[in-house]
Amino acid sequence: MDWVERARTLAMEAHAGQVDKAGHPYIGHVGRVAAAVRGDDEAEAVAWLHDVVEDCPAFAGQVQAFPAPLQDAVRLLSRTSAADADTYYARISADPLALKVKLADIADNADEARLASLDAATAERLRDKYRRALAALGQPATPAAPPIEH
């Protein structure tokens, strides 16, 4: 069975009509996260599904049709899986599949090109959020872009 294609189809249906903070179709984010882990079919399927349980409760039950390791990683990536941030990140850190997708998710969310389309206060709040998330996952903070030389 092509789990990646099934996951992509479910994500497209579940996120239809949703927009991100900048007003862009939300599925673009999900697709970029999936593309970042392409070549690892399990991670790619989880990437397509990573926000379905949390953001699309009407579709959450359909995740149960996927193999248990994929369901488990998707569940771990849902903020509702843990009472607090420390537990949430500790559980993700302990699961290589969930960790791989979460790092791709953070990288896309923290992309300066995306943050630049937001107001300054929101962009800075999100930068801080993603720095804290990386630290909680035991990862180095994303280095600042080098200065542009003229």
The 3-class secondary structure across the chain, one letter per residue, is CCHHHHHHHHHHHHCCCCECCCCCECHHHHHHHHHHCCCCHHHHHHHHHCCHHHHCHHHHHHHHHCCHHHHHHHHHHCHHHCCCHHHHHHHHHCCHHHHHHHHHHHHHHCCHHHHCCCCHHHHHHHHHHHHHHHHHCCCCCCCCCCCCCC
- pTM for the whole structure: 0.89
Mean pLDDT across 106-111: 94
Q: What is the pLDDT of residues 43-86, one digit of tens each?
A: 999 999 999 999 999 999 999 999 999 999 999 999 887 889 99
Calculate the average pLDDT of the chain. Answer: 91
Task: Tell me the two tokens of residue 72.
Answer: 């488990």
Query: Under a CB-based contact definition with an 8 Å cutoff, are residues 33 and 111 in contact?
Result: no
Query: Under a CB-based contact definition with an 8 Å cutoff, are residues 112 and 145 in contact?
Result: yes
Residue of 17, 40, 35 lying closest to 27 (CA atoms): 17
